[in-house]
Amino acid sequence: MIRLYKASFLGFSGIPARFQQMLRSPRREDKSFATSSIRGDMQEAAGCPLVHIGGPVFDERFSDVLVTFRQNFEESLESEGAAFSVFFEGRLVVDLYGGFADKKEGKRTLSEVVKLVDEGRLSYDDKVATLWPEFGQNGKENTTIRHICLHQAGLPYQSVITTADDFKNPQRIAELFESATPIWEPGSQVGYHALSIGLLIDQIVRRVDARSRGIAEYFKEEIQSKYGLLSEISFGLGNKSENGSVAVVKQASEEEVVEEGRRNPEALRRWNLGDNHHNAELYRQFHWITTKDYNKIENRLLPMPSNMGIGTARALAQVHSLVANGELFGSDTLAMISSGPELLEEFDVINGYAESKGYGFQFTKNPKGQWIFGHSGFGGQNVRVDVHNRLAYAYICNGLKISDADMVETFTSIKMGRRPARCYRYIKNKPYPKSRFCRGVPDPKIRIFDLGRKKANVDEFPLCVHMISNEREHLSSEALEAARICANKYMVKNCGKDGFHMRVRKHPYHVVRINKMLSCAGADRLQTGMRGAYGKPQGLVARVDIGDFLLSVRVRDQNEEHAIEAFRRAKFKFPGRQFIVVSRKWGFTKWDRADYERMREEGRLVSDGVNVQYVREHGPLSKPNDEKKKEGPTDEQKKEELEEEK
């Protein structure tokens, strides 16, 4: 599903030259930028470029932002490039950027309509037909500016197929909207106008402005130049030579979609809701500007206000800092916007979920419960204005994600900070060595650790597949049990209950404690927090390190693909990252397959059920491969001996 909220900026060309040079040379040892982590060392050993973090933090009160920003890359939450900038009280306090070479992308929103309303040249309740008479036909006679800003105009798409050349001619765009018929009655419901809202606003601005300027010219002359803003924002590229400094947009791979959905199921649910007939019709009309077309230079040259704004996080945050400090809008207009949304949790028929909207912005709340506004963008871009605290910040990235707005994990972790409860998953301190410290240890959820044909002879299942942890973390007994059930169910279905032998290699021994907190209003008056709290036993976890075996299965050679697929499905039950390997060993033994077969033929390996016994060259005289001892006399021989004795 495409999310193009107003203008999605596709690059931050304002990166310092020395950082661009360093990105092109990832092996350069620059301690002021390169991160030093276990994962970074592993990447370097594997020949992969290290993640580089650059940019200053000018105010020590925001020093934790740098730590979290770096963690987003070290934990692979941000796979490409990103930038984050903060203006506080009109002053740049954070300006971070990081990632790999040639990876940078961004986004911004518009304030032109609010600016015209503030100047008294426009009202949200004005009918569009009053300003644009040709527009008032086919059921659009009562459409207002407010309907457009709230995505209620009923014009998210049309039946007319467009081309890229249409967007070079404003008159052609005007004719498309004049002949259009709303797909619902204006004002009756909300449906996200992904590409059309910017085009409609551009036409309105052209009719209100005395010089008939569009959004691009109005922004550049009335906002950018007038307030001395950075020249790092534009609607489309000015010329082809600028394309080299703009990021390459990378779509999320199938694995990244699944991984992000595992961490945030609600984000995946919302992403799947976008697969509907509304978006199908939208990209039937705009078939030449789908997600894979944003890297084409011919599209980047188009002055499309809805989705082709190009700029840096620093410039984007600077524009919105004018709003946060009351410089761009008057006090009355600013008070009206900052008071809260016009539509509170109103269901969007195109997105498929509810949002709070107002005056052309999305509304959310800061940690203090105060309303803040801004807009999210395609693939994880975000900008927010906090008028109450005179704060404006922007986050941009070119590694596109499935989540949106506050669902974007990398953005939210910076905005809200890491949860103190991270210790439930991540290993921090040593466990208590004595069980008497924990009273009432809960029962583990997993009780079966061997599945399938457990007593199968070692020679029956030569192939072995392992799932190995790629993180140092806690695995709950619930996660182990869920993974066991998932893998076992798939193996039984495809290999039969006697066609494999699987083992859960980790046992949950450690007790996790929790001190439950109140989350209601005024909780600080009733509870003092977690400082010094011991907590009550909550569950059992297994401590795993990088390289630890989690699950192993031995099967016949023809079932190799089934074993790999079973573990791939079981991975989704665990936090963190894991990888699957096909062992070169024979079954669960320690011998390579070639060595095993050779030593077995030589009689040096003897089957011992699931495993084997190794017959050493030195040891007891009686060896398993020696000839059997002479058998005793038979019954007939005994009778003959008795007769002879008689």
Q: Residues 151-178: what's their mean pLDDT?
A: 92
As a whole number of angstroms, the distance between CA 374 and CA 31 comes to 36
Alpha helices in 377-441, H assignment, sequence order = 409-416
Distances (CA, A) of 417 to 64, 183, 423, 486: 8, 42, 15, 34
As a whole number of angstroms, the distance between CA 535 and CA 438 comes to 10
The CATH number for 435-517+540-582, chosen from 3.30.300.130, 3.90.1150.10, 3.90.1170.10, 3.20.20.70, is 3.90.1170.10
Query: Tokens 């001395």 sit at which residue?
Result: 228
Lookup: tokens for 136: 């008032």
pLDDT in tens, 281-314: 998 999 888 878 888 888 888 888 888 888 889 9
pLDDT in tens, 348-366: 999 999 999 999 899 998 8
As a whole number of angstroms, the distance between CA 14 and CA 234 comes to 13
pLDDT in tens, 597-622: 999 998 888 888 888 888 877 655 45
pLDDT in tens, 197-208: 999 999 999 999
As a whole number of angstroms, the distance between CA 643 and CA 129 comes to 129
> Is-contact 169 126, C-beta < 8 A?
no
pLDDT in tens, 25-65: 333 333 222 233 333 333 333 333 445 677 777 788 888 88
Residue 256, exposed/middle/buried by CB under 10 A (0-12, 13-18, 19+)? middle
For residue 527, pLDDT over 80 is answered with no
Q: What's the sign of the alpha-carbon dihedral 156, 162, 168, 171?
A: negative
As a whole number of angstroms, the distance between CA 98 and CA 352 comes to 33
Calculate the average pLDDT of the chain: 80
pLDDT above 70 covers a percentage of the chain that reads 80
As a whole number of angstroms, the distance between CA 259 and CA 194 comes to 26
From the list 209, 417, 219, the residue with the least C-alpha distance to 316 is 219
> What's the pLDDT band for 409 if we cut at 50, 70, 90?
confident
Highest mean pLDDT among 303-312, 508-517, 581-590: 581-590
> Is-contact 230 312, C-beta < 8 A?
yes
Q: Among 183-197, 199-213, 499-513, 611-625, name the one with the lowest average pLDDT.
A: 611-625
* Kind and range of the H or E run holding 382: strand 382-386
| Contacts of residue 617, Cβ cutoff 8 Å, sequence gap at least 6 | none
Given this model, what pLDDT does residue 644 score? 77
The DSSP code sequence of 288-350 is: TSSGGGTT-HHHHTS--TTT-EEB-HHHHHHHHHHHHTTSSS-HHHHHHHHT--SEEEEEBTT
Given this model, what pLDDT does residue 252 score? 86
Count of CB atoms within 10 A of residue 217's CB?
16
Count of CB atoms within 10 A of residue 394's CB?
34
Write down the domain spans for the chain.
Answer: 435-517+540-582
Distances (CA, A) of 343 to 127, 143, 149, 356, 563: 20, 17, 11, 5, 51
Count of CB atoms within 10 A of residue 295's CB?
16
pLDDT above 90 covers a percentage of the chain that reads 39
pLDDT in tens, 464-491: 999 999 888 899 999 999 999 999 999 9
Given this model, what pLDDT does residue 39 score? 35
∠ CA 76-81-86, nearest 5°, is 105
Lookup: tokens for 42: 């592993």
* Residues linked to residue 361 through DSSP beta bridges, in sequence order: 358
> What's the pLDDT band for 372 if we cut at 50, 70, 90?
very high
Q: Where are the beta strands (DSSP E) in 177-304?
A: 234-235
